[in-house]
Chain A
Amino acid sequence: MISAVDIRNAVTVVLAAVGALFFLVGTIGLVRLPDFYARTHAATKCDTVGAGSLLLALAVFNGFDASTLKIIALAGLVLLSSPTIGHALARAAHRTGVAPWQARKERAS
């Protein structure tokens, strides 16, 4: 018999797994990708989708009370601030002349 608690736990597990996966991929990308822009792109995935779904998982697991509202507010903050920071980093790098990586250039040197 599948109860409401089972469904809630299943949703929590799925959301947490998605969050963990994004953190893993983002962290690998941060280390492995070739240039600043690609690395920024990987790192901001961790904070938006990764942290976002982990927080949602916590909110679902917690049920509905005051802490859940706080968690959702936190997720909203992360979803708002993290892309902004990624944008600001990439823009600053572009403005100061950080050249994007190109496959051709690497072969030539």
Chain B
Amino acid sequence: MKKAFVAALLIVTAIPLLIGVVALPPHGDPDTPVHTHISARYLEEGREEAGADNIVTGVLLNYRGLDTAGEVTVIFTALMAGLAVLISHKKQPEGDATYDAAEAAAEDAPVRAPVSPVVSFVVRLLAPFIALFAVYVIVNGHVTPGGGFQGGAILGALFIALTIVLGRERTRTLMPRLAQPWMQGAALLTFVGVGIVGGALTGHFLGYPAQASLHLARELMMLVLEAGIGLGGAAVFATLFLQMEAE
């Protein structure tokens, strides 16, 4: 019954997607907007217009800002789905088929050993540099490859390494209970916030003021977005890791 429902849901989701694929222009068609003017416009005007030296960042946060907001929503949804699976797995009553698998895995699980002093020393030595690098990648996404997603992944990895070395009690203070939901949703919330600010300035949700005099406002909006994406991404990694480690 459950499997049939899942299959039906997948088919129902697949049909509109496949219809969409059929409606796409043939691959490499020179008459599509991408080839007639959009790419050229991005490359020629993107730097001034979008407000970022790195065209990728300009496209990601300005021209295709709504797309990125959707992407961030996908990540947040994935976090919720992951947490739902992890938590429901733990509460599964005995005798259930899925529980047996979990139990078998738990029996095979390695015995927890004390953290190696070498690993502990190197992680603690490198932690400030990794944190600095993460912030650099987030902020410098403006100019060089990088940005919130990449920097957030670095921050998340740092959190995981620190949790392994210092124990969850000490790293938990980095994510206080009250702030946790806000951090997990930071990327999405930032997009909504910046979107509304953009709406107030231009009349379009997530619009960027186009006047040359407001260049600073454009850059600031992007920076806030990058910071939000970075914080949110790191919080997603950290939450999933803490949940998995708690098993």
Which A residues have a C-beta under 8 Å from some C-beta of B? 77, 80-81, 84, 87-88, 91-92, 95-96
Which B residues have a C-beta under 8 Å from some C-beta of A? 110-111, 113, 116, 118-119, 122, 125-126
- Flag if A92 contacts B122 (CB, 8 Å): no
Per CB-CB distance, the 6 closest pairs between chain A and chain B, nearest first, are: A96-B110, A95-B113, A84-B122, A88-B119, A87-B118, A91-B116
- Flag if A92 contacts B126 (CB, 8 Å): no
> With a CB–CB cut-off of 8 A, which chain B residues contact A84?
118-119, 122
> With a CB–CB cut-off of 8 A, which chain B residues contact A88?
116, 118-119
> With a CB–CB cut-off of 8 A, which chain A residues contact B125?
80
Contact among A80, A91, A95, A96 for B122, CB-based, below 8 A: A80
> With a CB–CB cut-off of 8 A, which chain A residues contact B118?
84, 87-88
- Flag if A81 contacts B110 (CB, 8 Å): no
Q: Which residue of B has the minimal Cβ distance to A73?
A: B129
> With a CB–CB cut-off of 8 A, which chain B residues contact A92?
110, 113
A95 to B113, CA, bound (A): 7
Task: Give min CB distance, B245 to chain A, whole Å.
Answer: 15
Interface centre among A77, A81, A84, A87 (most CB of B within 10 A): A84
> With a CB–CB cut-off of 8 A, which chain B residues contact A81?
122, 126
- Flag if B126 contacts A87 (CB, 8 Å): no
> With a CB–CB cut-off of 8 A, which chain A residues contact B116?
87-88, 91
A84 to B122, CA, bound (A): 7
A16 to B180, CA, bound (A): 48
A4 to B104, CA, bound (A): 65
Q: Which residue of A has the minimal Cβ distance to B164?
A: A88
A88 to B118, CA, bound (A): 8
A49 to B126, CA, bound (A): 20
> With a CB–CB cut-off of 8 A, which chain B residues contact A87?
116, 118-119
Task: Give min CB distance, B162 to chain A, whole Å.
Answer: 15
> With a CB–CB cut-off of 8 A, which chain A residues contact B119?
84, 87-88, 91
7 contacts between A and B (CB under 8 A): A81-B126, A84-B122, A87-B119, A88-B118, A95-B110, A95-B111, A96-B111
A81 to B121, CA, bound (A): 11
Q: Which residue of A has the minimal Cβ distance to B133?
A: A77
- Do A80 and B126 form a contact, CB below 8 Å, given A87-B116, A88-B119? yes
A80 to B118, CA, bound (A): 11
Task: Give min CB distance, A75 to chain B, whole Å.
Answer: 14
A77 to B154, CA, bound (A): 15
> With a CB–CB cut-off of 8 A, which chain B residues contact A80?
122, 125-126
A77 to B110, CA, bound (A): 29
Task: Give min CB distance, B109 to chain A, whole Å.
Answer: 9
Task: Give min CB distance, B130 to chain A, whole Å.
Answer: 10
Q: Which residue of A has the minimal Cβ distance to B116?
A: A91
> With a CB–CB cut-off of 8 A, which chain B residues contact A96?
110-111
A88-B119, A91-B119, A92-B110 known; 8 new pairs, CB 8 Å cut-off, are: A81-B122, A84-B118, A88-B116, A91-B113, A91-B116, A92-B113, A95-B113, A96-B111
A87 to B118, CA, bound (A): 8
A77 to B123, CA, bound (A): 12
A87 to B123, CA, bound (A): 13
Task: Give min CB distance, B50 to chain A, whole Å.
Answer: 27
A24 to B166, CA, bound (A): 37
